[in-house]
Structure formats: C-alpha cells, structure tokens
Structure 1
Amino acid sequence: MNPLQTQTAQPPLVLFVDDEADELLATRYLLEAHGIAPVATLEDPREALTFVAATPPAMIIIDLIMPHLPGQQLLTRLVREHPSVPVVVMTASQDVETAIACMKEGAFDYLIKPVEESRLVSSVRHALEVCALRRHIGVLRHTLLNQKLKHPEAFAGILTRHGKMISVFQYIEAIAESPEPALITGETGVGKEMIAEAIHRLSRRAGRLVTVNVAGLDDTLFSDTLFGHMKGAFSGAEKDREGLITQSSEGTLFLDEIGDLTPASQVKLLRLLQDGTYYPLGSDIPKLSRARIVAATNRNLQQLMTKGSFRQDLFFRLSSHPLEIPPLRKRADDLPLLIDFFLQEASAAMDKPGLRVPEELYTLLSVYHFPGNVRELRALIFNAVAKHRFGAILSMESFKEVILATQRTPRENLDEGDGEGGSCLEIPGRFPTLKDAEDFLIQEAMRRGGNNQGIAATLLGISRQTLNYRLSTRRRES
C-alpha cells in the first residue's frame, strides 16, 4: 500500500487518486483543514478498484492523466461497479470534449487544475451530501418496508405504542448516523430531549451529548457558552475557556429552545452550520467544529419566519432532518401505558405500594387536552399519589380539580379555535335556543365521557347531581 495512504480505523470519507505525491498531500491537508476527514490517498490507480471494493468511501476524486490505468478508464469502471459513490474528476486537461465525455460517463463534477480552494471544497461537500442522501433514502426504504425497529433498546425510555411515534423512531434510525443537523419540533413536555438522546445514542459518535438551553441567552453569553473565549477577551476573562462546541467534539450538541435565539446569535449559528467554523470570543482565528447539531423548539418557526424574527436560511440549514413529535392529546392509546408507569414510579417514591387507578380515570384523562403533555401527566399522577390517604384505589378528585380549572370559556374557544379547523362552536343554519345548546352539550359530554355521568359532569363544570337532574328532566320531557 502506498505510504501516503491515510491509516484510519473508520472508512475514508474521501478517496483521492493521483500519481503526483505532492498533489495528494496538499489536497488531503486542504480537505482536512475544512473538516472533511478522513481522506485516503493512492498514487497507483490500479489499486483504486480493490481499495474501493474493500473499503467503500463516500466519494472519490481522480486525476485523468495517470500511468498504468488512464483516468477515463478508471472512471468508467468506478461508475459501473459503484454507482452510488460520486466520482469527481480533477485534471489539468482543459479539453472540452474530454470534459463532456467524462460527464457522460457519469462523473459527478469536472475540475480543472489549479482548482480554487473554495471550488474544490464546495464540490466535495456537494458530492458528500448527495452520497448521504442516497444512503438515507435506501435506509428509509428498507426501514419503512420492514415496519420494525432495528434498535428498540435505544427508545426504551420513551413509553409509547402510538403509530406516529413508532414512525418517528424508524426515521431516527434512518438518519441517526448522518452528520447533517436534525430539528425536533413539538409542544412543551412531549419529550424532545429524550428524542435527542436517542439520536445521539444511535449515531455511534465517539463524543458525548452536550445540552444547552439557548432561551434567554444574549449574543455575548451565547457566543461564550458555545464558542468559548480567549484570555483577555473581556473583563474577567483571566484564562482561555473551552465552549460547548469543543466539549461536544465528535459528539452531539443539542440546542434546546432554538426558536428563542437572538438575531445576532442566529447569524453565528448559521456560519457554524454552513462551513463548520466558529470564532472564540477574542480570537480572529477560526476553529473547526466536529459536533453534530440537533436543535429543538416548541415554537412555530414558520410563523416566526413570517414575522422576520427567525432566519429562513437558518431554518433550512437546521431542518435537514425534521422530526415532529405529536402531542399527548393525539396519542390517547398511550395514556394507559403512561398512567400505569407513572403510578408505579410515584408509589415507589412515596412508599405507597399497591395503589391502583379507577377505570374511569383513563376515560377522564382521554378527553383532557394536556397543555403540558407527558410532563404534565407525570406531575398530575405524582400530585394525586401525594394527596392519597386511604384505600387502594387512587382518588380522581385532584384530576377533576385540574380539568375544571382549565375549562375554557366559549369566548376563548371562539377567539382561539381548536388549532385544527377553527372554533369548536360552529353554528350553521338556524341559531339554536338555550335548550338546544344545553341538550347538545350534555349529549357531547356524555359521549366523550363514555356515558359516565361523573366524567361528563366534570367536563361540563357542574356537579354529578345537577347533571343527573337535567338528564332526568330531559327524559321526562321526551
């Protein structure tokens, strides 16, 4: 094997084949300086096919004018035997017909020496992105067709049997090893940090997961927290300080509440995502980041972009792999699983073994909108267990109190709607009388409560006795 061959424990990201040793060395250092590594190099083109068959790279750069095996012949064989690996031709030949012939043979790009640094790096990055996209499509196709998780243990901490959540897990398995950013969206309390942990766990990255909540950080604090500072950068900076970017090197940096990032900090994050570089405070020498970025927010970034408070280019950079986590109110089939788990957890923590939930509780909570999602459900269960005094059946009173306190008025519903098609009070045709409206509300509450009068009364905000009286009156009148 050629002595210039890069020795690495992992498959090379780039293979460069050229008979000029100086060209190989200079190009390898250039790519590695831009964070593109590892790079393998070969002087003898006859070794290329054997090397690629044994250790497939993400992309290949070849020269055209080489002894023993001309570049065009090598290109033809590489494209035929490894069609998913992009091949970039880099040569001193300026012959237009040769360039056209190479592109027809399947070359990904054609670069003429001497190649500008930015042009070479851009071409290589583009080829790597295409290769990653092809690989992810293949993994997704395989995963979605099989309908099974390859690594269910990675999601053991997320209790669910809901179909959409399983689909999210399958997508995570497909994109976990990608170096591209991932954007997790969802309401407060749905478990976005646990999703980030699963992504990191499956990524097989050597570094660790580092988490930072960027909400409330001004531009200076954001820069210092992420990028660090040099000694003397500001008053009190008595020594160099590493930022979280360095601490998460070769690992994952999780940026929570990304929707609250200030405009100035958005620009710095965009630069980091675009070219992988950043500047510690007080330094004019850029540093390279090898951390994979995962971001999360509970805010509507589309609305923020419309208002001009969130950059569109940053959004598109962050959302290479978008994941939307459904709220708990849309995962009613997860409620029994979560309720039972949190009850066992709370009972053990408070030394109240043997507690059971009444069957009515599942129905009652299935009609609650859970603004705090899974986190709120856990708090409700712990609160109920803490208040429990007698018997083996958990009281429903604390749950009813919360639901009654959060009942929204008709005016609020008219103003806000339900988020899925407008107001919950739509009155087509003849305007109803008060009796019509009362009859409808009672029927709807009974339907949602599974014909349980206690649950229906809670939804209506009245006592069970009052509901029973009105039901009896309706029966007599009919």
Structure 2
Amino acid sequence: MSQNLYPPFCILLVDDEPAWLRSLSLTLERSAGITNILTCQDSREVKDIITSRNVGLILLDLTMPHVSGEDLLTMIAEQHPETTTIVISGMNQLETAVRCMRLGAFDYFVKTVEEDRLVGGVLRAIRMLELQRENHEMSSRVLTGSLRHPEAFAAIITANQAMHAIFSYVEAVAVSPQPLLITGESGVGKELLARATHLLSGCAGPLVAVNVAGLDDTVFADTLFGHLKGAFTGADHQRRGMIEEAADGTLFLDEIGDLSIPSQIKLLRLLQEGEYFPLGSDRPKRLKARIIVATHHDLAQKEADGRFRRDLFYRLRTHHVQVPPLRERKEDIPLLLDYFLGKVAHSLGKKKPTPPRELAQLLATYSFPGNVRELKAMIYDAVSVHRDHILSMDTFLRGIGQPDSSPVATAPEGNPFSCLERLPSFSEATELLVSEAITRAKGNQTIAARLLGISQPALSKRLKLAREQEE
C-alpha cells in the first residue's frame, strides 16, 4: 500500500466549511483507519484535483459558493465515471436525495446523521471500488497471461500452468486489504505463497506468521491481541500481540481450520470491526495489518458440518487460492529435484551430486502424500549419505516403498474389468498391463517393474517370452 495510506486511492472531501472538513477527516481516520484523504474548500478546484490525483471517492457537499454540489455531481458523472461520489448535505430532503442519486451519486447522507452510519457508507463505497479495481486487474492478468513481478515467486519452483494462473491471481489481489485464504494439502507451499503476496502488497511492515493449530481460546486471544500488565495471573508486564507486531504489514495465520468456535468468533469480530481489545484493556486498537490465512482442511465441508462458522468462512474467502498437490503437477518433479539437490548439497557443504537419469521417472510414479515437503526430505536424506559421483536411488526406493495401490479412478468400485462386456484372457490382460507399464515408464524396465509390483528380472522374463511367442 503506497506510503501505508488507506485506501490506495484518494478520498476527496469537498465542503466550504473548514471546521466540517477537519471533523470529517478525523472521524474517518479514527473510526475506520482511512488516512488517504484530501480536502478542498473551493469547489472550483475540484476538476483539477480529480485530473491530477488518483481520486477514487468524493464526499461532496451540495450547498457551496461558485460551483454547486449538483453541478459538480453532473460533471463528475460525465467526465469521470470511474469516480464514486457520496453526497453529504445539510438538507434532509427526499426530493434532493432522489435527484442526486439520479445524477449518479452512490449514496446520500445528512450531516447530522450518526457517525457510524456515515463511516459505514464510506467503507461500503471503498469496498465496491476495491472490488472493481481487483476485477479489472484480474481480467487484465487473464488476458495478458503475464506477471509484472515474477521475482516475487522465485522461491516457488514450478512449470505448471495451474500454478502460474495462481501467481497471476495473487499478483492481482496482493494490494487488496481484504483477507486471502490459501488452501491445499500439507507441504504444497502455502506459506511461500503468503510470503509472495506480502512482497507484492508493497506493505512497509513485516510479515508475521502464527501457527494457530492447538491454541486454546485464551492463548489465541493473548497471542493475537496481547495483554496489559495485570490482565491475568502471571501477566507481570505488558505484551504486544502479533496483530500489533504486524502493523502496516501482513499477519499470516496458518492452520486456520483448527481454530475453536470461540476463537473463530474473535477472529470474525476483528475482521468485521477492524479493531480489537488487548486482554485487560477497555480501549480498542485498530487493525493495521493485512490478514492472510491458510489451511489444509476442507473449510467448506467443516462449515457444512457445523465445525466452522459460515459468516467467518465467507469473510475469509473474499480472495481464495487452492494450491494443487504435487501429484497433479508432476512436470515440476525434475525441476524440484535439480533445485533441491543443489540447495541441500550447499547446506551440507558437498558438491551437487548427479542424479540417475531414471530417478525423475521413478519419482513421477509416486503420489507424494507429503507433497513438496516430502520430496525435499527424501532428497536431503539421499544427499546426506551420498558418497559417489552418481546419486544412489536406494534412499528414494525405500522412501517410496511399494507402488501405489489406490483404485483406478475411472473404474466402478475400483475394478477396471467390471464395465467390459467381454473379459480379456489372462494372457491378453497381462500383455496389455505390461505394455501400459512400459509406456508409462518410458521404456525403463526397472520403473515398469515397480509399477507392476514385480521384480525387474520377472518383467524381463515376461517380455522375452512375449517376443518369442511373436516369432
């Protein structure tokens, strides 16, 4: 966010009463954390200000000398339709309000209205503008298919199209103040995406990561909100919460799916109100950090089961990315293998070993339930015991174990023959199975034998017998 101002576009307050401008500015800053504010007492200057500054929202008085509010409203609607206008008038007249709405005003308030209603209307307008800009940004990314800041994703090694689409989405929503929900299995790299989002946000503050799994409600509140001295037994001194530590930056809450219901209520209130109370304090503090959350749980299912609040679920998934598991992006395995071999060898003070040519093919036959984290652990183990020039495959074979025995996805009840009208003979089925294994292993008999769950000599014997029968 540019210079830590909120929102990223200017809000222009136009009124010929300087006292009202000061009062409204303070109200918006104190009640909603809105700091990107310009004021204008001379309505004749409005046109030049809109042209020269990034004005997204105008709060406009109607009764002013020189150029009236209604004339300005007409000009803004005709020449700057991308700019939203809220009319704040001293007149409580229905006809005037209707006329302003017809001229293009987003909303109409009377100056004597309660502060909360006025601030709520301003926040609604800001949110609408943010969504419009985010949609435009995402549409632009989809059309161009390119990243403006690929360096932000340098830590994520991938050639997968779905991952690059996620990068484009993250780049588009990185500057949004709304929460980002990152879901995916354990080990897919959710924290790396959170770090990339923080880098792209332009926030001057730090990224503060908190794993909330296993935190009871009291510890969760103390961790996030902090406490005053004497707030509870043992609170010998004041402690800043993680929200305050992440001021002007990003607060990353990992394993959000493990939060208890009472803690979910506290998080929801924080997101809704934009403020919190340190334990033992009756004075609220403003939330000044972007919130990113991550989980390996299926939050939609947890919500349906009543284990996760629906209102919090929909609040968190304003922006959402689902990171695919490694088994769905196997083209990344050779890249990750090369990257981790170099990184692990360097950390161990060894020369980068040369992997066997068939190692990447072997790894591609494995489903990697632990995803990228599991692959990295395998490589670390292999390099740790490595001695010769060529990396041994023994560590990987032990890590992979037996071939995956999951049912065939397209076959009813896991039986690939149940949908066939005529069953193949035993020899036909064996020949087809061996042929498919050889194709998947790209001709490598060792890997094909592993896929079939037999030894390499046994496979060679079957292939030799098949050739003799053909002759």
Using the size of structure 2 for normalisation, the TM-score is 0.92
Kindly provide the CA deviation profile for residues 114-155 of structure 1, in whole angstroms up to 9, marking residues without a partner as x: 112221121111100111112112222222222221111111
Q: Secondary structure at 1:281's aligned position in 2?
A: coil
Kindly indicate whether residue 427 of structure 2 is the aligned counterpart of residue 429 of structure 1: no
Q: What residue in structure 2 maps to residue 17 of structure 1?
A: 14
**Counterpart Cα distance in 2 of 1:38 and 1:160:** 38
Letter in 2 for 1:177: V
Kindly indicate whether residue 458 of structure 2 is the aligned counterpart of residue 461 of structure 1: no
Which of 78, 81, 84 is equivalent to 2:79?
A: 81
Shift of 1:32: 0.9
**Counterpart Cα distance in 1 of 2:374 and 2:8:** 45
**Counterpart Cα distance in 1 of 2:345 and 2:96:** 76
Summarize the Cα distance change of 1:39–1:354 in structure 2 as closer, same or farther, 3 Å threshold. Answer: closer
Summarize the Cα distance change of 1:72–1:408 in structure 2 as closer, same or farther, 3 Å threshold. Answer: same
Shift of 1:440: 4.9
Letter in 2 for 1:48: V
Q: Secondary structure at 1:174's aligned position in 2?
A: helix
Q: What residue in structure 2 maps to residue 122 of structure 1?
A: 120
Kindly indicate whether residue 35 of structure 2 is the aligned counterpart of residue 31 of structure 1: no
Q: What residue in structure 1 maps to residue 442 of structure 2?
A: 450
Greater Cα shift, 25-34 or 427-436:
427-436
Q: What residue in structure 1 maps to residue 40 of structure 2?
A: 42
8 Å CA contact 1:400–1:458 kept in 2: the answer is no
Summarize the Cα distance change of 1:43–1:222 in structure 2 as closer, same or farther, 3 Å threshold. Answer: same
Q: Secondary structure at 2:55's aligned position in 1?
A: coil
Q: What residue in structure 1 maps to residue 179 of structure 2?
A: 181
Summarize the Cα distance change of 1:237–1:177 in structure 2 as closer, same or farther, 3 Å threshold. Answer: same
8 Å CA contact 1:181–1:318 kept in 2: the answer is yes
Greater Cα shift, 205-214 or 321-330:
321-330
Consecutive unaligned residues of structure 1, counting only runs of 5 or more, are 1-7
Q: What residue in structure 2 maps to residue 402 of structure 1?
A: 399
Shift of 1:92: 2.5
Summarize the Cα distance change of 1:18–1:449 in structure 2 as closer, same or farther, 3 Å threshold. Answer: same
* Structure 1 segment 145-164 matched on structure 2, within 5 A: 145-164=143-162
Kindly indicate whether residue 175 of structure 2 is the aligned counterpart of residue 190 of structure 1: no
Kindly provide the CA deviation profile for residues 230-261 of structure 1, in whole angstroms up to 9, marking residues without a partner as x: 11111100121110000111110001111111
**Counterpart Cα distance in 1 of 2:342 and 2:367:** 23
Greater Cα shift, 288-297 or 152-161:
152-161
Kindly provide the CA deviation profile for residues 257-296 of structure 1, in whole angstroms up to 9, marking residues without a partner as x: 1111111111111111112011111223221111000111
Q: What residue in structure 2 maps to residue 3 of structure 1?
A: none
Q: What residue in structure 2 maps to residue 4 of structure 1?
A: none
Q: What residue in structure 2 maps to residue 365 of structure 1?
A: 363
Letter in 2 for 1:471: L
**Counterpart Cα distance in 2 of 1:202 and 1:70:** 41
Summarize the Cα distance change of 1:235–1:440 in structure 2 as closer, same or farther, 3 Å threshold. Answer: farther
**Counterpart Cα distance in 2 of 1:33 and 1:337:** 50
Summarize the Cα distance change of 1:455–1:113 in structure 2 as closer, same or farther, 3 Å threshold. Answer: same
**Counterpart Cα distance in 1 of 2:411 and 2:317:** 26
8 Å CA contact 2:341–2:352 kept in 1: the answer is no
Greater Cα shift, 20-29 or 332-341:
20-29
Summarize the Cα distance change of 1:441–1:301 in structure 2 as closer, same or farther, 3 Å threshold. Answer: farther
Shift of 1:423: 5.8
Q: Secondary structure at 1:58's aligned position in 2?
A: strand
Q: What residue in structure 2 maps to residue 374 of structure 1?
A: 372
**Counterpart Cα distance in 1 of 2:126 and 2:79:** 18
Summarize the Cα distance change of 1:361–1:94 in structure 2 as closer, same or farther, 3 Å threshold. Answer: same
Shift of 1:176: 1.1
Summarize the Cα distance change of 1:47–1:423 in structure 2 as closer, same or farther, 3 Å threshold. Answer: farther
Q: What residue in structure 1 maps to residue 328 of structure 2?
A: 330
* Structure 1 segment 276-425 matched on structure 2, within 5 A: 276-353=274-351, 355-390=353-388, 392-405=389-402, 407-409=403-405, 413=406, 424-425=414-415
8 Å CA contact 2:10–2:53 kept in 1: the answer is no
Kindly provide the CA deviation profile for residues 432-466 of structure 1, in whole angstroms up to 9, marking residues without a partner as x: 77666655543433232123110012223321112
Shift of 1:422: 7.6
8 Å CA contact 1:404–1:461 kept in 2: the answer is no
Aligned-residue sequence identity (percent) comes to: 47
Kindly indicate whether residue 471 of structure 2 is the aligned counterpart of residue 471 of structure 1: no
Summarize the Cα distance change of 1:261–1:369 in structure 2 as closer, same or farther, 3 Å threshold. Answer: same
Letter in 1 for 2:324: P
The CA RMSD measured in Å over matched residues stands at 2.3
**Counterpart Cα distance in 2 of 1:99 and 1:347:** 71
Q: Secondary structure at 1:359's aligned position in 2?
A: coil
Shift of 1:475: 4.8
**Counterpart Cα distance in 2 of 1:435 and 1:278:** 71
Greater Cα shift, 47-56 or 173-182:
47-56
Aligned residues: 463
Shift of 1:28: 1.6
**Counterpart Cα distance in 2 of 1:422 and 1:385:** 42
Letter in 1 for 2:436: E
Q: Secondary structure at 2:291's aligned position in 1?
A: strand
8 Å CA contact 2:7–2:34 kept in 1: the answer is no
Kindly provide the CA deviation profile for residues 387-441 of structure 1, in whole angstroms up to 9, marking residues without a partner as x: 3233x22122221222224x444xxx35xx75x9986544313567766665554
Letter in 2 for 1:19: D
* Structure 1 segment 61-80 matched on structure 2, within 5 A: 61-80=59-78
Summarize the Cα distance change of 1:302–1:475 in structure 2 as closer, same or farther, 3 Å threshold. Answer: farther
Summarize the Cα distance change of 1:286–1:60 in structure 2 as closer, same or farther, 3 Å threshold. Answer: same
**Counterpart Cα distance in 1 of 2:420 and 2:64:** 82
Using the size of structure 1 for normalisation, the TM-score is 0.91
Greater Cα shift, 65-74 or 155-164:
155-164
